[in-house]
């Protein structure tokens, strides 16, 4: 098995380290952190961190501010301090929710993302399991091929894919996206899950085999429950990618009611040559919220899953 | 791609002594069934379009009309098309600068986050936000931040007395490039930082303690322990990063649409402009196909990184 | 947007009084009795249109759609799409034979697939008889190779918008009528720190139209009547130098402008002369009456070419051959163009749309406010997208690729000298016009 499937290496040093520790996230600090005094830490750690966080967060502050700013304050920077808002208005948000099809777009995005994620998880679990445990002839090569598929970006594929989608009669249908997105999701999910599956001891499986369990039973009853954190993070990652996807949705969808949030926001808040900045920003903000909330719950899972995949 | 290997039928399973043996015999088929969904999806929606795209690039297909084979004509036209070469230059510049800075800042941020501090997990969630928020939505925010008349940056600098007039962020070619690169870095740093953080967590604290006891300096610890142990994950994450930066579309599309005067047109946006908006699918496909060699190079580099990793761990795997 | 439409429809009806609605319906019923085209029984239509610029236009349009449905029983569903996206979407529909029955879009898009368009000879002739003749530019958009494949519903005038006080301070009592005076005005405005600005970014509407004006007004052309590429001419060089001198007087940032940028800057009082449709004025009247008071519009100055060389947005509507209800399509198009419908609709557009036929009854929108009057001229004064060349998919690609805009912009920013800029535009044109 000489195929260089990316995660298929085991660095003995890493492996030994990992074996000593659970896959979950532990709060480890660098060894000599206790040597640092507070003022020093302030300058070397907190200050840079604060600056980076400020830069990372500023656009969101700006979005939120614009979303509740009355229009006249938006373009009048002489009388109003642009960093703040007087008499905030919910007009834009109200308009967004009740006078456009925003809820519908949000629903489309969720529907497409969840469906594509489930489909990819299903395929990835099977593929990862097959590559790691079934170990058919050429499993290593197949694993590598799947990984390579991750390196084929949508910007190369959208033109031919558009002609194919048309030929399949899927144009302007969410199904087109549900089928196209897994091409982006499966490779990464498979890679992540392969890492997870490898950590599950062989013995468990062999015992089950001896007891006459089928492959399918082993997968669903033993492997999947153990790999649950991996599934979650692959799922979250996939959901993010779907939510974020732009070029396929831009090319394959056409009618207003079928659009996803990213596409709708850029096209629907423009009346010819008038940009509705308030609603645009409110739409951008609301469109990001579900994911932000999801992540704030699962970030630790995510890091630990990556750790799991990385340590392989 | 590689499903030829899958379809080799395994020798018919004869009832044998042990379950393990039976299993070995049926492996080929089991593998085939397990791989089927993935193979179908990747085959129909990835491999086939990839080949079809290459084929389209040799035709004069337009939207709404079948094309005929015209050989290398599309490429010949691109070959001395200044806008195309400008987009190649832009793409390379964009990728190189953004990737290097993203890596540097990402690694730095990962090291910061790996330190012990209060509210660690909240800080981590916050860091991830730019990665989580759909690119195009944050790109719109940046577009508004970099507006030529109502930029908050111009306003602040003006009020601090640093500049007199507004900065023409997206109207001046090199400024516009800097702005889109900044937005890309902003968006890319969190993913790199969090992934490298995951890598850092696999490094045993005992290694650091041992090194500290041996009197190693911070820099030595970083360059002799942290970096080598991180190399494999760096190779993977940077391959992703380079690749996605190279093929970026939505950030540019939302912020500049390739302007001013094509100064920020990337190959992907030019391909959309020519293929979809102007309707010349063949030419658009040719531009997209022209990205392939660059991507292969990126993959090659990543391959090299992984080989090195195998070599580091002292031999072939398994 | 069915939900929104219903609501705004009701609001609109309430605003103009229900009586108007009843009139419209009465007319629609009477019209349906005598119409030349009887919709297929049980027919329903879907229309894809460009996304409105002014809400009241959309409301008037939907009122009309509603009356049509009530009078004929034909359900009509309307979807909106920003006008950059209409062309690709229509192309795909033409290609796959599925999609909207009718598409109302921009410029020359029907010429991309003339074989897929329902011939509209009869509708065009009937309209010409009633309200005609068609303006030459309208005919150029509707007819491909001598056959009517689309009905040019209207034009959108884009004209210089200026602040009266700034112009007077610059020493002009009235807006200059020739290109030399126009440049003088820009220079004087710059000197007074009340600068002008014209979009040189990839702005489908603003940039394409004014750049073509600049080229044509100096006698330059991308292609001639036989689609021979003639951009490499001394006239083009003059146009480039002219625009460069104009550019030197502009506010910073015009190279990155899209269609919305000048609206924003003008309304904020940072811009004193620009090129736009009536949307700035409409917004100013609503939110900033003082500014509206101080602004006015003018026709494009005439250059060395010696005649009006404006380029205005045209909005043709087409019906696809694959539609199951071709008669309903024709009836719908004819119905919208009936003076009793068209008039109130154009009025609802507040000057945003103007007539493609020369003898419609005078619309009050053009006389109620003298500042609107200029926009009534768009159909009459505009040239078609190709200049001298016939409207075709190639011309559509020239516009979509911003060949002319980029030529000017790259020279203005100093990235390319006159020769290089022209050569690159020539090459782009050769690329688009090859295999003719």
Look at the block and give the residue holding tokens 């006249």: A72
Cα–Cα distance measured from residue B290 to residue A156, given in angstroms and rounded to the nearest whole number: 9
Closest residue in A to B217 (Cα) is A32
Cβ–Cβ under 8 Å, residues A265 and B136 = yes
pLDDT band of residue A247 (cuts 50, 70, 90) is confident
Helix A182-198 to helix B19-42 angle (10° resolution) is 160
Cβ–Cβ under 8 Å, residues C13 and C21 = yes
Tell which B residues from 271 to 300 touch C, by Cβ distance under 8 Å.
273-274, 276-280, 283
Whether the predicted pLDDT of A258 surpasses 70: yes
A100-159 pLDDT, tens digit each:
888 999 999 999 999 999 999 999 999 988 888 777 777 778 877 887 787 788 888 888
Cα–Cα distance measured from residue C305 to residue C214, given in angstroms and rounded to the nearest whole number: 10
Chains that touch B (3 or more CB pairs under 8 A): A, C
Q: Choose, out of A3, A30, A37, the residue to mutate when testing the contact with B (most B CBs < 10 Å).
A: A30
CA dihedral angle for residue A41, residue A47, residue A49, residue A54, rounded to 10 degrees: 160
Return mean pLDDT, chain C. 85
Whether the predicted pLDDT of A11 surpasses 90: no
Tell which C residues from 131 to 150 touch B, by Cβ distance under 8 Å.
none
Q: Is B202 at the interface with chain A, CB within 8 A? A: yes
Cβ–Cβ under 8 Å, residues B103 and B241 = yes
C334-363 pLDDT, tens digit each:
888 888 888 888 888 888 888 898 888 888
Write phi, then psi, for C78 (nearest 5 degrees): -115, 130
Cα–Cα distance measured from residue C417 to residue B16, given in angstroms and rounded to the nearest whole number: 82
C364-415 pLDDT, tens digit each:
888 888 888 888 888 888 888 888 888 887 888 888 888 999 999 999 988 8
pLDDT for B119 equals 80
Q: Which of A250, A96, A112 is nearest to A175 (CA)?
A: A112
Whether the predicted pLDDT of B317 surpasses 90: no
Helix A47-67 to helix B120-132 angle (10° resolution) is 50
Tokens of B45: 């929606």
Mean pLDDT of C302-320: 90
Whether the predicted pLDDT of C429 surpasses 70: yes
CB contact under 8 A, C92 and A254: yes
CB contact under 8 A, A183 and B42: yes
B194-236 pLDDT, tens digit each:
888 888 888 888 888 888 888 888 888 888 888 888 887 888 7
Q: Is B133 at the interface with chain A, CB within 8 A? A: yes
CB contact under 8 A, C268 and B170: no
Q: Choose, out of C48, C268, C277, C352, the residue to mutate when testing the contact with A (most A CBs < 10 Å).
A: C268
Mean pLDDT of B92-113: 92
pLDDT for B306 equals 60
Q: What is the ipTM of this complex?
A: 0.79
pLDDT for C164 equals 93
C216-253 pLDDT, tens digit each:
999 999 999 888 999 999 999 999 999 999 999 998 88
Closest residue in C to B149 (Cα) is C265
pLDDT for C38 equals 83
pLDDT band of residue C10 (cuts 50, 70, 90) is very low
Strands C295-297 and C159-163: antiparallel
Beta bridge partners of A274: A271
Cβ–Cβ under 8 Å, residues C231 and C425 = yes
Q: Choose, out of C264, C281, C352, the residue to mutate when testing the contact with A (most A CBs < 10 Å).
A: C264
* CB contacts < 8 A (A, C): 76
C151-189 pLDDT, tens digit each:
999 998 889 999 999 999 999 998 999 999 999 999 999
Cα–Cα distance measured from residue C142 to residue C292, given in angstroms and rounded to the nearest whole number: 35
Return the percentage of chain B with pLDDT > 90, whole number.
23
Q: Is B25 at the interface with chain A, CB within 8 A? A: no
C78-95 pLDDT, tens digit each:
888 777 778 778 877 887
CB contact under 8 A, B137 and A265: yes
Chain C residues within 8 A of A255 when measuring between CB atoms:
79
CB-closest option in A76, A166, A270 to C92: A166
Using alpha carbons only, give the angle C295, C296, C301 rounded to the nearest 5 degrees: 135
Least confident residue range of B100-104, B202-206, C31-35, C373-377: C31-35
A180-198 pLDDT, tens digit each:
999 989 988 888 888 788 8
Higher per-residue pLDDT: B42 or B23 = B42
Q: Choose, out of C51, C78, C100, the residue to mutate when testing the contact with A (most A CBs < 10 Å).
A: C51
pLDDT for C242 equals 94
Higher per-residue pLDDT: A274 or C362 = C362
Least confident residue range of A9-18, A47-56, A101-110: A9-18
Cα–Cα distance measured from residue C436 to residue C433, given in angstroms and rounded to the nearest whole number: 6
Whether the predicted pLDDT of A5 surpasses 50: no
CB contact under 8 A, B288 and A210: no
Mean pLDDT of A195-219: 80
pLDDT for C376 equals 86
Cβ–Cβ under 8 Å, residues A231 and A125 = yes
Closest residue in A to C100 (Cα) is A255
Cα–Cα distance measured from residue A26 to residue A17, given in angstroms and rounded to the nearest whole number: 13
| DSSP E strand boundaries for C287-386 | 295-297, 310-311, 313-319, 382-383
Write the secondary structure of chain B as one string of H (helix), E (strand) and C (coil).
CCCHHHHCCCCCCCCCCCHHHHHHHHHHHHHHHHHHHHHHHHHHHHHHHHHHHHHHCCECCECCECCCECCCHHHHHHHCCHHHHHHHHHHHHHHHHHHHHHHHHHHHHHHHHCCCCCCHHHHHHHHHHHHHCCHHHHHHHHHHHCCCCCCHHHHHHHHCCCCCCCCCCCCCHHHHHHHHHHHHHHHHHHHHHHHHHHHHHCCCHHHHHHHHHCCCCHHHHHHHHHHHHHHHHHHHHHHHHHHHHHCCCHHHHHHCCCCCCCCCCCHHHHHHHHHHHCCCHHHHHHHHHCCHHHHHHHHHHHHHHHHHHHHHCCCCCC
Q: Is C15 at the interface with chain B, CB within 8 A? A: no
pLDDT band of residue C21 (cuts 50, 70, 90) is low
Separate counts of helices (H) and strands (E) for chain A: 17, 2
> Of the segments A98-102, B2-6, C210-214, C262-266, which one has the largest average pLDDT value?
C210-214
Return the percentage of chain B with pLDDT > 70, whole number.
86
Tokens of A306: 């990556």
C372-382 pLDDT, tens digit each:
888 888 888 88
pLDDT for B18 equals 60
pLDDT for C11 equals 43
pLDDT for B290 equals 92
Return mean pLDDT, chain B. 81
C337 Cα to chain A: minimum distance (Å): 23
Exposure class string for B279-297: b at 16+ Cβ within 10 A, else e: bbbbbbbbbbbbbeebbee
Tell which B residues from 52 to 91 touch C, by Cβ distance under 8 Å.
60, 62-65, 77, 80-83
């Amino acid at each position: 098995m000489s195929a260089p499937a990316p995660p298929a290496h085991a660095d003995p040093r890493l492996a030994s380290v990992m074996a000593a520790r659970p896959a979950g996230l532990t709060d480890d600090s660098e060894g000599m952190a206790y040597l640092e005094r507070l003022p020093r830490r302030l300058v070397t750690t907190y200050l840079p961190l604060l600056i980076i966080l400020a830069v990372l967060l500023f656009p969101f502050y700006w979005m939120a501010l614009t979303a509740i700013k009355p229009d006249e304050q938006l373009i009048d920077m002489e009388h109003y301090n642009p960093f703040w808002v007087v008499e905030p208005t919910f007009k834009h948000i109200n308009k967004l929710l009740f006078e456009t099809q925003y809820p519908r777009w949000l629903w489309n995005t969720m529907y497409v993302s969840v469906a594509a994620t489930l489909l990819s998880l299903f395929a990835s679990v099977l593929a990862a399991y097959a590559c790691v445990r079934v170990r058919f002839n050429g499993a290593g090569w197949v694993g590598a091929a799947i990984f390579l598929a991750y390196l084929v970006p949508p910007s190369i594929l959208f033109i031919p894919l558009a002609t194919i989608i048309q030929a399949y009669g899927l144009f302007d249908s969410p199904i087109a996206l549900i089928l196209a997105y897994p091409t982006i999701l499966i490779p990464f999910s498979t890679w992540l899950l392969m890492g997870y599956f490898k950590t599950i001891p062989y013995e468990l499986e062999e015992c089950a085999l001896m007891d006459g369990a089928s492959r399918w039973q082993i997968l669903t009853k033993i492997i999947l429950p153990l790999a649950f954190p991996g599934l979650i993070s692959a799922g979250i990652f996939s959901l993010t990618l779907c939510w974020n996807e732009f070029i396929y949705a831009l090319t394959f969808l056409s009618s207003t009611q079928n659009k996803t949030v990213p596409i709708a926001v850029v096209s629907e808040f423009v009346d010819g040559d008038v940009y509705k900045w308030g609603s645009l920003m409110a739409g951008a903000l609301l469109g990001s919220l579900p994911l932000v909330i999801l992540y704030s719950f699962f970030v630790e899972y995510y890091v630990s899953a990556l750790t799991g995949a990385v340590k392989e | 791609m590689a499903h030829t290997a899958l379809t080799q039928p395994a020798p018919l399973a004869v009832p044998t002594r042990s379950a393990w043996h039976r299993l070995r015999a049926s492996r080929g088929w089991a593998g085939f069934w397990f791989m089927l969904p993935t193979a179908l999806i990747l085959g129909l929606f990835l491999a086939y379009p990839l080949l079809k795209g290459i084929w389209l690039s040799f035709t004069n297909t337009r939207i709404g009309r079948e094309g005929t084979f015209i050989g290398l004509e599309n490429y010949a036209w691109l070959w001395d098309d200044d806008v195309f070469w400008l987009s190649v230059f832009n793409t390379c510049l964009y990728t190189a600068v953004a990737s290097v800075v993203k890596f540097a800042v990402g690694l730095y941020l990962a090291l910061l986050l790996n330190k012990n501090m209060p509210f660690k997990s909240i800080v981590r969630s916050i860091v991830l936000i730019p990665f989580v928020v759909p690119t195009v939505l944050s790109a719109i925010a940046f577009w508004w931040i970099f507006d030529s008349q109502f930029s908050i940056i111009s306003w602040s600098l003006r009020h601090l007395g640093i500049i007199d007039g507004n900065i023409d962020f997206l109207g001046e070619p090199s400024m516009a490039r800097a702005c889109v690169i900044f937005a890309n870095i902003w968006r890319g740093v969190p993913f790199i930082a969090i992934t490298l953080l995951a890598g850092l967590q696999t490094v045993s604290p005992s290694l650091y303690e041992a090194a500290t006891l041996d009197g190693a300096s911070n820099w030595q610890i970083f360059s002799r322990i942290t970096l080598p142990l991180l190399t494999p994950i760096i190779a993977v994450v940077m391959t992703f990063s380079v690749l996605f930066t190279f093929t970026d579309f939505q950030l540019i599309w939302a912020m500049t649409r390739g302007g001013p005067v094509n100064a920020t047109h990337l190959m992907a946006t030019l391909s959309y402009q020519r293929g979809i908006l102007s309707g010349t699918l063949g030419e658009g496909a040719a531009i997209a196909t022209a990205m392939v060699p660059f991507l292969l190079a990126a993959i090659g580099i990543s391959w090299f990184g992984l080989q090195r990793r195998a070599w580091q761990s002292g031999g072939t795997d398994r | 947007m069915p939900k929104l439409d219903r609501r705004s429809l009701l609001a609109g009806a309430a605003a103009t009084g229900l009586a108007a609605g009843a009139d419209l319906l009465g007319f629609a019923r009477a019209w349906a009795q005598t119409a030349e085209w009887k919709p297929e029984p049980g027919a329903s239509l879907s229309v894809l249109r460009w996304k409105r610029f002014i809400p009241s236009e959309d409301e008037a349009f939907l009122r009309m759609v509603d009356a049509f449905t009530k009078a004929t029983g034909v359900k009509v569903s309307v979807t909106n799409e920003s006008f950059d996206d209409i062309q690709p979407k229509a192309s795909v529909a033409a290609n796959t034979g599925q999609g909207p029955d009718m598409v109302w879009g921009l410029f020359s898009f029907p010429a991309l697939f003339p074989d897929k368009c329902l011939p509209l000879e009869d509708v065009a002739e009937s309209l010409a008889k009633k309200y005609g003749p068609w303006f030459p530019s309208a005919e150029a958009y509707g007819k491909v190779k001598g056959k009517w494949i689309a009905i040019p519903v209207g034009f959108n005038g884009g004209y210089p918008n200026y602040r009266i006080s700034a112009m007077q301070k610059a020493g002009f009592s009235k807006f200059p009528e020739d290109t030399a005076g126009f440049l003088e005005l820009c220079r004087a405005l710059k000197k007074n720190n009340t600068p002008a600005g014209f979009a040189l970014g990839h702005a489908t509407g603003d940039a394409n139209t004014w750049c073509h004006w600049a080229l044509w007004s100096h006698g330059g052309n991308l292609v001639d009547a036989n689609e021979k590429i003639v951009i490499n001419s001394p006239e083009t060089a003059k146009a480039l130098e002219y625009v460069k001198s104009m550019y030197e007087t502009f506010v910073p940032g015009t190279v990155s402008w899209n269609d919305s940028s000048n609206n924003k800057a003008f309304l904020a009082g940072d811009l004193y002369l620009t090129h736009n449709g009536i949307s700035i004025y409409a917004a100013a009247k609503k939110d900033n009456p003082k500014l509206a008071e101080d602004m006015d519009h003018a026709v494009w100055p005439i250059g060395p070419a010696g005649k009006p060389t404006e380029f205005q947005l045209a909005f043709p509507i087409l019906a696809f051959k694959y539609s199951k209800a071709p008669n309903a399509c024709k009836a719908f198009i004819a119905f919208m163009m009936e003076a009793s419908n068209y008039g109130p609709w154009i009025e609802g557009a507040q000057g945003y749309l103007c007539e493609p036929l020369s003898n419609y009854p005078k619309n009050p929108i053009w006389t109620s406010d003298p500042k609107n009057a200029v926009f009534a001229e768009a159909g009459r004064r505009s040239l078609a997208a190709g200049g001298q060349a016939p409207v075709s998919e190639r011309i559509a690609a020239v516009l979509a690729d911003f060949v002319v805009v980029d030529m000017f912009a790259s020279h203005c920013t100093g990235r390319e000298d006159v020769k290089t800029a022209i050569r690159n535009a020539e090459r782009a044109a050769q690329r688009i016009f090859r295999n003719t």
